Structure 1
Amino acid sequence: MSAQKVRILEDTPERRYQLAIVVLLVLVLVVASLAIWLVSKKNAAEDDLEKAEADIETYQAGPDARDAAEEILLEMTSYDYRRIEDEYAWLDHFANDELRGRFEKQVPNLKKVIRRSKARARGEVVQSAYNTIDSTSATVLAFVRQRLTDATNRRGVLEDQWTTLTLVREGDEWLIEDIDIVTVPPPS
């Protein structure tokens, strides 16, 4: 080997400093890479946690919406001619004025008919299911059975209907954004 090559390989103070600097630079790069990787993993874990919490909130909203829909449907399908003035409080469960207005137009005539015929109705939600859209909105499909009696028919008749309620949450309360009622024809 030549003398110059031997000098390069010799253990000189300059060589030790150069080697220490290279080792420190490599160490800094490794630590920086590790820190970046850990921060990205932490951020990904936080994102996953937020998504899981949102999913849990959405999942919990479904049963709450279903329970609220069942209560509203029971109010809507149960009435007594002797207390007819108090029977339409369920209109407060509508989320928008247009929908409320559509139903309120029919109330005076319905009250007259119910009083004259001495009608009573008892509603029952036979079955219901929900589809949660997010933590503040859901759709509930319910099979509702209503027993109707009046002065001429004390035994009453059964009426079945499928009701679809689109609900929105305002604060702690579920309100009806849309409603679709389909009467099931009696068996022939």
Structure 2
Amino acid sequence: MKKSVLETENATETTDSGSDTDNPSVPEKETATETSDSDQVAEDSPVGADATSPFWRRRWVPRAVVGATAFVAVSASVLACVLGWKLHDRSQVDTAARQAASTAQTYAVTLTSIDSQNIDQNFAAVINGATGEFKDTYTQSSNQLKTLLVEHKAISKGRIVDSSIKSATKDRVQVMLFIDQEVTNSVSPDPRIDRSRMVMTMERVGDSWLASKVDLV
């Protein structure tokens, strides 16, 4: 009877010992849990992000890149507008220069072509093409000049040899003119050529270009 009890106790101890050895279920569960947590952290981390970088850097750097791109786009648009405006302004100046130069050439011929037999028409054409300082000066001296030309039976014919634009804005253009003027009068009946060079300042008045100043140089 005593042997039976001892055998039973030994069997029980053997069974408990085998159970502890063969059942590592608790450590395995803990290891699985740790592995699962690690995988979850890896899934939560942004792809390509530096896990050691501060949260604000990982979050705001992409926004900063977007902001910088938008700034560059806006700056490019502003620059395009400025360049477009400058080109438009340059085009307007070029157009004004061409128009003023063409008018100056025609007016220079009017100014240097005088026939004493048609003196009033000649002077009216000169005054109608002038403005400002030049118009005032020419008008004041016109009566004396008419008398002198009629007295000497003067005739002159102007011809443009060359011209160039000295300076230009949208409303004011200076034109350099080279002129040959064929002159005859009662003192010198044989034609002679007078060569002159003048700078004519043209100003926009309404839709017209008028001479405001004429300087012989």
TM over 0.5: yes
**What percentage of aligned pairs have identical amino acids?**
21
Quote the residue 1:33 is aligned against.
68
- How far apart, in 1, do the equivalents of 2:134 and 2:200 lie? 12
- TM-score by length of structure 1 reads 0.77
**Equivalent of 2:179 in 120, 139, 144:** 144
CA contact (8 A) 2:153 2:186 kept: yes
- How far apart, in 2, do the equivalents of 1:8 and 1:130 lie? 83
Does 2:151 match 1:122?
A: no
Pick closer, same or farther for the CA change 1:55–1:6 going to 2, 3 Å.
farther
CA contact (8 A) 2:135 2:212 kept: no
- Shift of the alpha carbon at 1:93? 2.7
Q: Secondary structure at the match of 1:140?
A: strand
- TM-score by length of structure 2 reads 0.68
**Equivalent of 1:11 in 40, 43, 56:** 40
Quote the residue 1:180 is aligned against.
215
Listed one character per residue, the Cα deviations across residues 25-57 of structure 1 (whole Å, up to 9, x for unaligned) are: 554443332222111101101111111121222
The amino acid of 1:70's aligned partner reads Q
Quote the residue 1:45 is aligned against.
80
The amino acid of 1:112's aligned partner reads T
Which structure has the larger Rg over C-alpha atoms? 2
The amino acid of 1:50's aligned partner reads W
Unpaired segments of 5 or more residues in structure 2?
Answer: 1-33, 50-55
Unpaired segments of 5 or more residues in structure 1?
Answer: 183-188
RCO comparison, higher one (Cα < 8 Å, 6+)? 1
The amino acid of 2:214's aligned partner reads I
Q: How many residues align?
A: 174
Pick closer, same or farther for the CA change 1:49–1:8 going to 2, 3 Å.
farther
Q: Secondary structure at the match of 2:190?
A: strand
Does 2:206 match 1:171?
A: yes
Pick closer, same or farther for the CA change 1:11–1:59 going to 2, 3 Å.
same
The amino acid of 1:51's aligned partner reads K
The amino acid of 1:90's aligned partner reads V
Does 2:128 match 1:99?
A: no
Pick closer, same or farther for the CA change 1:167–1:8 going to 2, 3 Å.
farther
Structure with the higher strand share, 1 or 2: 1
What does 1:37-116 align with in structure 2 at a 5 Å threshold? 37-88=72-123, 89-96=125-132, 98-116=133-151
Q: Secondary structure at the match of 1:154?
A: coil
The amino acid of 1:82's aligned partner reads Q
- How far apart, in 2, do the equivalents of 1:122 and 1:52 lie? 41
Aligned-residue CA RMSD in angstroms? 3.0
